[in-house]
């Protein structure tokens, strides 16, 4: 069967830059889905995406569907005809489903059968429907109409190229008649460009100042930006999302270096970077120490004969934005940071939970409580807590919301606050996302945990629990943040105690009964997903969860120990033995003796196990006390042989009540050794 390359290009007005890449990928996915559904084979496929076009190129696409045979089974013959040989509704319904008369149905076997050979259709006849279906399925939140037409798309369409081999596919899609004429660059080559063949598409457009390949354009921009930054003795800040957006804004990228006045460097560089990236789509430059340079790179969409004009224009545009940031910074510094709490007393945090200042007061007390327990300075934590929300009332954060915390750091430094207090004002929001940076200071860690626990307790306390995908107060992220800080920074905080203290700070604003346990369950439940992502079996998590350790760090240390224990050859047998012991003890009646009476032990396996348990208890006691759980479980692994021998030789439920109770006491001691780390009976 012959095969040809296929090209479709839809020309439009300028497409939304933040969505261009996803639109191109979705267009490709839709076309491939349609080709596969039609049974059309092809070698490879790729997408092109530029500001005014979406395109898909399919290489070596089969020119026709293969012939196929459809075989359908119907009802049994005895159900298809009554005793007089007349067709039943089952038979008539099957014939109707097949689209033929009953006489054309095969009645020779035990069931009615229908077979039909279907000749494959030509690819050219199928392509318009495949392309149209793909365009209709694009992820476009809101489609638009233009002129007097009823067709809808993300932007008005301007032209359509559809070529199969050398020939145009005759069709009309989204108000455009297919042809081979594309368009060049809006300014450099504002004329029609003939596409000779699908394979020449990229080359033909490059001659008209259009780099149609999104990936190549992106790579070209990244490489040139890096070269220009190096020439300025700096490094460019190139966030992937910004690079994608800039790539989507230009057809013929020409990066240029611009500059701004050095006086603006007195403003927090985060504010300057934010406004240049978010508002102007510039790439900022920093030196080897990460300090902002008075340079930035813009990416023009034309190759100008006088690039200095473009540079001057961009410098003129950015100056008012930087001047605004400078003005807000100077205005804010005229007033001590703490005075802004007066304004926050009138700003609602949550209607039932009080003002933002109320929250700051709670965070201050809770942060001091936490700092004392993780080796920090309680007074510094309390100070950072009371200042934690002040910058929300500043002009800088009002204009640049992403500066919250960062602005607070600079204003606290200006006011002469201790370094760790100033840092904590920014670190309170850490981690800002999955895998993001954690607080570096103990003061910052205390405030970050306090802020998150206060939110969790408050929102749970008024019954606004997250449901499904709805989590308006980001409680899941808050819980994960608490866990990451305490585990990854090795901070040994009793969360039961801390949550109880947080509940007390709310007084009668929340329903306290059962609240602490509800919050704790929510937090520790987040660990399950964390461990699953790390490849830890859920049974390991459950084995530790059964003991309800109060500190996340302690919880994690136990999980890591049990995970290592599972790799030992003795693990499976000991888990099974623990399960057996657990079941036996669950059925025991009355109170078990506190100690094992050696005089009631039988010689042999029973005495051997008792001696092994006593020796193990002595050996693991200091390990458990030091939380050396991995070493403790490795030591307990030596109990496998005496445990197996015991169950082979000894009947636990002896006739003699005293002997039976003594044996249960021995098993209780054995189980207690493992429960010092986890309930390994759940591993079986």
Per-residue pLDDT of 530-550, as tens digits, reads: 898 888 989 999 999 999 999
pLDDT of residue 1: 65
pLDDT of residue 456: 96
pLDDT of residue 372: 97
Q: Check: CB of residue 11 under 8 Å from CB of residue 159.
A: yes
pLDDT of residue 104: 85
Q: How far apart are CA 397 and CA 340, in angstroms?
A: 12
Give residue-wise pLDDT tens across range 484-500: 999 999 999 999 999 99
CA 478 from chain centre, in angstroms, equals 14
Q: How far apart are CA 93 and CA 97, in angstroms?
A: 6
Q: How far apart are CA 214 and CA 135, in angstroms?
A: 19
Q: Check: CB of residue 451 under 8 Å from CB of residue 363.
A: yes
Matching residue, tokens 């080796």:
375
Instruction: Tell me the C-alpha to C-alpha distance, in Å, between residue 550 and each of 2, 497, 545.
Output: 70, 8, 10
pLDDT of residue 36: 95
Question: Which tokens in the block code for residue 472?
Answer: 């308006």
Q: Check: CB of residue 457 under 8 Å from CB of residue 503.
A: yes
| Sites in the chain below the pLDDT cut of 70 | 1, 684
pLDDT of residue 684: 66
Q: Is the dihedral of CA 411, 417, 419, 421 positive or negative?
A: negative
**In 374-429, alpha helices (H):** 378-387, 395-399, 406-414, 419-427
In order of their start, the domains of the chain are: 3-65+123-208 (3.30.70.260), 71-117 (no CATH), 214-333 (no CATH), 352-535 (1.10.3210), 566-682 (1.10.730)
Q: Check: CB of residue 400 under 8 Å from CB of residue 325.
A: yes
Q: How far apart are CA 544 and CA 557, in angstroms?
A: 10
Q: How far apart are CA 613 and CA 577, in angstroms?
A: 14
pLDDT of residue 602: 80
Q: How far apart are CA 32 and CA 26, in angstroms?
A: 10
The length of the chain in residues reads 684
Q: Is residue 162 classed as helix, strand or coil in its secondary structure?
A: strand
Bridge partners of 113, per DSSP, are 73, 106
Bridge partners of 257, per DSSP, are 297
C-alpha closest to that of 508 among 348, 358, 351, 353:
353
Q: Check: CB of residue 580 under 8 Å from CB of residue 670.
A: no
DSSP 8-state assignment for residue 81: B
Question: Which tokens in the block code for residue 296?
Answer: 């930035």
Q: How far apart are CA 551 and CA 559, in angstroms?
A: 12
Q: How far apart are CA 324 and CA 331, in angstroms?
A: 11
């Amino acid at each position: 069967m012959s095969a040809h390359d296929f090209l479709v290009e839809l020309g439009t007005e300028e497409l939304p830059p933040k969505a261009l890449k996803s639109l191109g990928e979705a267009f490709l996915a839709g076309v491939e889905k349609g080709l596969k559904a039609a049974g059309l084979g092809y070698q490879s496929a790729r997408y092109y995406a530029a500001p005014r076009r979406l395109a898909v190129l399919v290489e070596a696409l089969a020119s026709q569907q293969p012939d196929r045979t459809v075989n359908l089974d119907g009802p049994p013959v005895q159900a298809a005809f009554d005793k007089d040989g007349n067709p039943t509704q089952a038979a008539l319904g099957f014939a109707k489903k097949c689209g033929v008369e009953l006489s054309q149905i095969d009645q020779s076997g035990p069931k009615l059968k229908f077979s039909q050979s279907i000749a494959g259709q030509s690819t050219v006849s199928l392509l318009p429907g495949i392309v149209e279906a793909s365009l209709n399925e694009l992820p476009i939140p809101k489609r638009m109409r233009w002129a007097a037409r009823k067709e809808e798309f993300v932007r008005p369409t301007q032209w359509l190229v559809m070529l199969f081999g050398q020939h145009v596919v005759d069709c009309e899609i989204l108000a455009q008649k297919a042809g081979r004429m594309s368009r060049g660059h809006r300014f450099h080559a504002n004329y029609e460009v003939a596409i000779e063949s699908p394979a020449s598409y990229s080359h033909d457009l490059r001659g008209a100042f259009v780099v149609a390949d999104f990936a190549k354009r992106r790579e070209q921009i990244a490489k040139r930006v890096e070269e220009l930054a190096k020439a300025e003795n700096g490094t460019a800040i190139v966030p992937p999302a910004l690079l994608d957006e800039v790539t989507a804004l230009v057809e013929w990228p020409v990066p240029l270096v611009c500059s701004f006045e050095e006086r603006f460097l007195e403003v927090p560089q985060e504010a300057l970077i934010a406004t240049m990236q978010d508002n102007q789509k510039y790439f900022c430059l920093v030196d080897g120490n990460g300090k902002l340079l008075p340079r930035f790179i813009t990416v023009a969409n034309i190759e100008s004969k006088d690039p200095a004009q473009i540079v001057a224009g961009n410098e003129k545009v950015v100056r008012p934005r930087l001047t605004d940031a400078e003005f807000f910074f100077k205005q804010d510094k005229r007033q001590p940071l703490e005075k802004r709490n007066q304004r926050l007393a009138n700003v609602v945090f949550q209607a039932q939970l009080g003002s933002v200042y109320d929250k700051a007061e709670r965070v201050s007390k809770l942060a001091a409580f936490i700092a004392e327990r993780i080796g920090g300075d309680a007074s510094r934590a309390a100070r950072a807590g009371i200042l934690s929300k002040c910058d929300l009332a500043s002009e800088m954060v009002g204009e640049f919301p992403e500066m919250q915390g960062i602005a607070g750091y600079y204003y606290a430094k200006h006011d002469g606050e201790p370094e760790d207090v100033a840092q904590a004002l920014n670190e309170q929001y850490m981690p800002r996302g999955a895998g993001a940076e954690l607080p570096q200071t103990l003061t910052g860690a205390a405030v970050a945990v306090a802020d998150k626990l206060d939110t969790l307790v408050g929102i749970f306390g008024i019954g606004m629990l997250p449901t499904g995908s709805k989590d308006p107060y980001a409680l899941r992220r808050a819980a994960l943040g608490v866990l990451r800080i305490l585990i990854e920074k090795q901070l040994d905080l009793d969360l039961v105690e801390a949550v109880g203290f947080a509940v007390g700070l709310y007084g009668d604003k929340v329903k306290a009964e059962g609240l602490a346990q509800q919050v704790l369950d929510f937090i520790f439940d987040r660990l399950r997903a964390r461990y699953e992502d790390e490849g830890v079996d859920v049974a390991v998590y459950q084995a530790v969860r059964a003991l309800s350790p109060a500190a996340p760090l302690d919880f994690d240390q136990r999980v890591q120990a049990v995970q290592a224990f599972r790799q030992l050859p003795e693990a499976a047998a000991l888990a099974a033995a623990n399960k057996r012991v657990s079941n036996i003890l669950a059925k025991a009646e009355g109170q078990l003796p506190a100690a094992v009476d050696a005089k009631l032990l039988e010689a042999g396996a029973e005495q051997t196990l008792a001696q092994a348990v006593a020796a193990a208890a002595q050996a693991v006691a200091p390990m458990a006390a030091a939380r050396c759980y991995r070493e403790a479980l490795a030591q307990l692994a030596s109990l496998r042989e005496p445990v197996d021998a015991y169950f082979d030789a000894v009947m636990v439920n002896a006739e003699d009540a005293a002997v039976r109770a003594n044996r249960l006491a021995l098993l209780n001691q054995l189980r207690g050794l493992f429960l010092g780390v986890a309930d390994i009976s759940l591993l079986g």
